[in-house]
Amino acid sequence: MKTIAISAALAGALTLGGFGAAQAWEPTKPVEFVVTSGAGGGTDNFARLVQAIITKHKLMEQPIVVVNKGGGSGAEGYVYGKGKKGDPNEVIFGTNNAYLLPYVAKLGYKYTDLTPVAAMALDEFLLWVKGDAPYADAKAYIDAVKAKPMGFKMGGSQSKDTDQTLTSMIQDATGAKWIYVPFQGGSAAAVQLAGGHIDSNVNNPNENVGQWKAGQVKPLCVFAPEQLAKSEPIHDGKGWGDVPTCKSAGIPIESFRMPRTVWLPADVPADAVTYYANVLEKVSQTPEWKEFIQRTAQTAKFMKGQEFTDFVAKDDAANRKVFEAEGWVVK
């Protein structure tokens, strides 16, 4: 507690000093990158790559320390951020769970305990079935599921998280009904589909690409407004760019994507937010970052300031609607 008080006081003093000298804010001690997933998770890769790029291109003077606080589906990291109120040397990496988690579980933080900095990419969601499944397109599969309600199994990572939300949206939009099985992560859901233990999943490209290469799973459609960027062929001459959008394939969902987000604790100086947003924007322009985006078939989209806040508001409302309909919102 004492250290927090001191660092908050220091931060305050620095801010005042900063105003006095009319200089832009810059970190004066090592910066901590708080990762809201376990080591090896998607958010972990994201944060460590950003760290590696910043170090390589010397975008920041101060050294960076990465810490994993992935407990409670990432809530541990956000609660930690709440405790660091006013400390601009704590940068928190996450997804849209930053503002969605407090709806579905009783946690020790609120969305207002965080200061939005930027979103760096949008991770895509695809509808996948087993490689040898008899469905040529998304419509054929949905029709089969509709014909046998609760006869098919949809797997996903965790409960009341993006995968289950999307499943619920598809159910609403099409009238199909699955048994949803929550696994520990996307890689488990990928292997379960390859082994034929579940009928479909809605994994991110990166989570299923290994199985797709081997022809064990195949994508039916992507939940994006337009088709993904062209890529090298992955299996059977087809690549990411050949996957039709779900809307065109008969599932009336315009778009479902997960932002890769960056936050600061509440009550930090506005200069600090601008500082990090600028550093991250430079990161997003490096060849290493572009290569990462392409390899993981995410969509490059850098958002900061008002654009990011607007995105959050829209995404929050869309997800909240599903949570309320499903009765997941905790009081």
Partner 1 sequence: MDNIANLMHGFEVALTAHHILLMIAGVLLGVLVGVLPGLGAPNGVSLLLPLTFSMDPVSAIILLASLYWGALFGGSTTSILFNIPGEPSSVATTFDGHPMAKQGKATEALSFAFLSAGFGALCGVVLITLLSGWVANFALRFSSPEYFAVYFMTFASFIGLGGASPFKTVVSMGIGFSLATIGMDSVSGNVRLTFEYDVLLAGVSFLIAVIGLFGIGELLLTMEEGLKFEGVAAKVRIGDVLRTATKLPRYWLALARSSLIGIWMGITPGGPTAASFMSYAMAKRSSRDPDKFGKGEPEGVIAPETADHAAGSSAMLPMLALGIPGSATAAVMMGGLMIWGLNPGPTLFTDRPDFVWGLIASMYLGNIVAVVIVLATVPLFASILRIPFAIIGPVIVVICFIGAFTAANREFDIWLALIFGLVGYLFKKLDYPIAPLVLAMVIGDKAEDAFRQSMIFSQGSLSIFWSNALVGTLMAIGLVLLFMPLIGAGLRRLRGQGETRTV
Supply the minimum distance, in Å, between the C-beta of residue 25 and partner 1: 25
Supply the minimum distance, in Å, between the C-beta of residue 254 and partner 1: 26
Tell me which residues touch partner 1 (CB under 8 A). Answer: 38-41, 44-45, 48-49, 51-52, 55-56, 66-73, 75-76, 79, 104-109, 150, 153, 158-161, 179-184, 187-188, 190-192, 194-195, 197, 206, 209-211, 213-214, 216, 292, 295-296, 328
- Residue number with CB closer to partner 1 (18 or 215): 215
Order of strands across the sheet with 299-304? 64-68, 31-35, 90-94, 257-265, 114-124, 299-304
- Residue number with CB closer to partner 1 (40 or 175): 40
Nearby residues of 279 by Cβ (< 8 Å), 6 or more positions away:
54, 59, 60
Supply the minimum distance, in Å, between the C-beta of residue 8 and partner 1: 17
Supply the minimum distance, in Å, between the C-beta of residue 94 and partner 1: 15
- Residue number with CB closer to partner 1 (140 or 234): 234
- Residue number with CB closer to partner 1 (56 or 314): 56
* Of the candidates 39, 112, 159, the residue with the CA atom closest to the CA atom of residue 264: 112
- Residue number with CB closer to partner 1 (159 or 255): 159
- From residue 102, give the alpha-carbon distance in Å to each of 85, 105, 185: 18, 6, 20
User: What are 299's strand-pairing partners?
Assistant: 122
Supply the minimum distance, in Å, between the C-beta of residue 295 and partner 1: 6
Supply the minimum distance, in Å, between the C-beta of residue 24 and partner 1: 27
Nearby residues of 178 by Cβ (< 8 Å), 6 or more positions away:
145, 150, 152, 153, 154, 167, 171, 199, 200
- Residue number with CB closer to partner 1 (63 or 252): 63
Cβ neighbour number for residue 20 with a 10 Å cutoff: 8
Supply the minimum distance, in Å, between the C-beta of residue 245 and partner 1: 24
Supply the minimum distance, in Å, between the C-beta of residue 247 and partner 1: 28
Contact 76, 70 (CB under 8 A): yes
- Residue number with CB closer to partner 1 (313 or 330): 330
Query: Residue 164 and residue 59: Cα distance in Å, rounded?
Result: 38
Spacing of C-alpha 307 from chain mean position: 17
Query: Residue 100 and residue 22: Cα distance in Å, rounded?
Result: 37
Interhelix angle 42-57/287-295, rounded to 10 degrees, is 160
- Residue number with CB closer to partner 1 (55 or 309): 55
* Of the candidates 81, 87, 79, the residue with the CA atom closest to the CA atom of residue 25: 87
* Of the candidates 96, 69, 100, the residue with the CA atom closest to the CA atom of residue 84: 69
Query: Residue 282 and residue 284: Cα distance in Å, rounded?
Result: 5
